[in-house]
Structures are given as C-alpha cells and as structure tokens.
Amino acid sequence: MSRFPKDFLWGVACASYQCEGGWDADGKGPNIWDEFCHDTAHQHIKNGATGDVACDSYHRFREDVALMKAHNIRAYRFSVSWARVIPDGDGAVNEAGLKYYEDLVDELLANGIEPLVTLYHWDLPSALQDRGGWLNRDIVEAFGRYAGIFAGRMKGKVKKYMTLNEPQCAAAFGYGVGIHAPGWTVSEEKVARVYHHMCLAHSAAYRAVKAEAGEDVQVGVAPCGRLTYPEKDTPANREAAYKATFAMPADDWMFTFNIFLDSVCLKRYADDIPESVRRFAATVDPKDWDLMEAPDFIGVNVYNGKMVDETGAYVARYEGFPQTACRWPVTPEVMHYGPLQIGQRYGKPVYITENGQSCNDRIFLDGQVHDPDRIDFLHRYLLELSKAVGEGLDLRGYMQWSFLDNFEWNRGYDERFGIVYVDYRTGERIPKDSARWYAKVIETNGECL
Ligand code: GBH
C-alpha cells in the first residue's frame, strides 16, 4: 500500500529575495526588502545582513537545477521578483528580468522538473510602496497586470501558479508589527484593508493568468496561519481543534487562514471577526465580493501547530519540548490534522507548499554536513501527512523548505533551512545528509518512510 498518491509531486521551495542575489542586476528595480535591509541604521536584520548576494542563484541557477535533478526533485517552487520583471511595479517591462525566469523555467523543464511559480513572496517594488503599497487599492490592477505579463511569457511552460505567499506574514509582520518590510505599524483596521486588497489582487491575478496562459493553468495561493491539532484522536477533540484553528479572537486574528481564505473561497468574512475587522468590513463595497476568485488549489505552509483539548483550550507544552534551531516547536501531528482542516473547510485540492526545520548546520571533520535532526523532523511530518492522505485528503504534492540554505528575512543568515548547505563565503553548495535521504523518499514515493 502506497502512502502517497501515484503521481505525487515531490519538490522543494524557495523565494526570490531569499536566494537570488543580483539585487540590482540587469535593470532590476529596488524592492522593499532591498530598502529594509539597506536601512542599517535601524538594524531591522540580524547582523545587518542583506539579500544582495544571498545564494547568488541569479547567476548559479543552472548549478542548482543540476543538484535538484541529482536528488530526484520533481518540482521547484520558486518566486518571481516583481521588480526584476517590472522595475517600478506598473510601468515598463524589463526584458532581462523576464529572460532570467524564462531561462530558469527552460532549465527546469529540460531536467524534468516542474516549475511552480509564486508571483509574490513579499518583495514589493519600492515605487509601489511609495504610493502606499498594499494599503493603496491601485495595487490590485498593478498585480493583475504583472501576473498577466509573466504568465503570457511562460505560456505553455508553467502550468501551476501561486499568486501570494503567506499574505498573513506580509500583512501582520509588514504592516502590523513592522518586523518585516516595509516595517510599517498601522492600525488593525488598516491591516484588514491590506488583507482585502491582497484578496482582490489574488483574484485579479487569477483571472489574468488564465486569460494569458490558458484556462487549464492551475492558479492557487499559499497562505499560512495558526493550525491546531487534537490532544486525543476523538471526534469531539477533532471538532474542537477545527474550531480553534478557524477562531478569530481579537488578539490573534491576523495569523489565521480564514482571514484570507474565507474572503476568496467563501466570499465573506467569518462570523466571529473582531471589532477592528468588523469596522473595516463595514466599509467594503458589496460588489467587491463578486470580484473574489477561489483558488484552484490551496498551498499550505506547515511548520508547527498548537495542541488543544476537548474543550478547545490550548494544552501547555512541557519543559524541554522538542524545538528547532529557531526555537519553533516540533509538532508533527499538525501535518495530519491541519491539511485535513483546510481541505474540509474549503473543499479544494491541497499542496504542502512549505515544510522544514532550521538547524545550526556546519561542515563536519569529514567535509560532509550531517543533519540527523532535519531528517527526523521531515520523517515525522511526512508520516503524519500520509495519515491525512489515508483519510481521504486530496493532496497533490509536498514542497520541502528549502533546497538551499538562504536568507531568512529579519533573522538573516543565522538559521539554515536547506537540505543543501551554502558556504556564504564562496557560494559553494554541499548537499547535506537530508538531501540524500529526501532523494530516497522521492524515489520510493514515500514507501521507505
Ligand atoms: C515561511 O514563513 C516563509 O514563507 C519563508 O519565506 C520562510 O523562509 C520560512 O517560512 C521559514 O521561516 O505562529 O501559529 O500564529 C513562515 C513563518 C509561519 C510565521 C506561520 C508565522 C504563524 C502561525 N510563519 N506563523 S502561528
């Protein structure tokens, strides 16, 4: 009995700003992460790190693709730097930027690796931020135009898109608490506006991609949020976990799946939105709901979750609870129940678009990078994921985060998420033990787990 569907898409993921480098190469415009990192006076980023060079995948992508092929990778989820393609966000197209992505896509296809394209993974062109960024409704049209231009160029080559990656982080971290670019701290009511514009932009891009690349192209989205799992595997406890996952308490509504997905899939807000969101909701033109497009699939980024008991209350973690290098708890059970909850609420096919752990990896005396912690983490999460498949989840693929060590946003290069080690002094890539382990998982379609 196979634990995963027959044509299951095993892949890896990364994002433009985190791995490309080439921050001002060949006509690329500045984006908000360039500016946020260069604003060293405010120390937004650990150790003053920037993505100026990162993994230099802008220049080394052929080497990266060859390494993927050598490890049986079937899909590469990468994101597009909007400012590389349209330097000021809504003006002239930069041919060199489009050409870079076309070359990458061609290289992937030539090696039998399917490209999965994320159109927005947080690196907004600065010129659009100067006009209010996601607070300005003009962004909806600009994003739709950009999506159409990109998809038109990749017509016949790219069959799967995600419009936005984790709108929750972009909204809550970028505009709510200001620890991510652009580093703004606006009212909760305005954060709700950011979400609304993101939902409309997703929808505009959905239509533009289909119009330019064809109706058969799949357009999804990759949100994140709080996921909870039951302490006991009883129907009542499962129901309590489902409710806790989609609850919207006033002090914890921003990192919910439903603040985004209810709008685009169900075309309404949840009943229990907090007062701040309710105030914004009252200003929404009812016609906006007709503009919302449900994604063809939902990409779920899964890192950890919270355990709840039968009453729906959080169960405290014990002292010494397993954790990763960045101190995120290791909670594999979330991979069983979380995707099922998403599938149940929205009735769409699911991809796991990110999952992985950071370690303090280093080169050992034997010249290799041994990462048993990461292997154990991925092993446990994949075993739990196979339970969801066994229970009927329409699961299409799994993207490990991340192929290469890369720039981890405000935490800089401190944490390593890759299954391939990057020596940032030289750019040298060294596949870790986990890369060889994952190659085996793919080769056996998960049977070896
Ligand atoms: C992802 O962010 C990013 O997409 C990726 O770029 C990044 O490198 C990677 O993960 C590793 O950090 O805490 O219960 O409220 C994930 C970060 C995960 C942080 C979800 C907020 C919200 C759920 N986010 N989390 S909860």
pLDDT tens digits, one per residue of 221-249: 999 999 999 999 999 999 999 999 999 99
Residue 75: helix, strand or coil by DSSP?
strand
CA distance 91 to 70: 40
Confidence of residue 2 (pLDDT cuts 50, 70, 90): low
Annotation marks residue 354 as catalytic: yes
Query: One of 354, 384, 408, 415 is an active-site residue; which one?
Result: 354
Nearest-atom number in ligand 1 for the CA of 411 is 12
pLDDT of residue 3: 87
Tell whether ligand 1 has an atom less than 6 A from the beta carbon of residue 166. yes
User: What is the longest distance spanned by two Cα atoms in the chain?
Assistant: 64
pLDDT at 1 over 60: no
CA distance 194 to 433: 41
User: What percent of the chain stands above pLDDT 70?
Assistant: 100
Dist. CA 329 → ligand 1 center (Å) = 12
Mean pLDDT of the chain: 98
Class of domain 9-443: alpha beta
Which residues partner with 423 through β-bridges?
428
Backbone angles phi, psi at 360, to 5 degrees: -90, 60
pLDDT tens digits, one per residue of 370-423: 999 999 999 999 999 999 999 999 999 999 999 999 999 999 999 999 999 999
Best residue for ligand 1 mutational test, from 16, 19, 169 (most atoms within 8 Å of Cβ): 169
Dist. CA 300 → ligand 1 center (Å) = 11
Give the length of the chain: 449
Q: How far is CA 291 from the centre of its chain?
A: 24
pLDDT of residue 151: 99
Query: What is this structure's pTM?
Result: 0.98
pLDDT tens digits, one per residue of 237-293: 999 999 999 999 999 999 999 999 999 999 999 999 999 999 999 999 999 999 999
Give the mean model confidence (pLDDT) for residues 140-158: 99
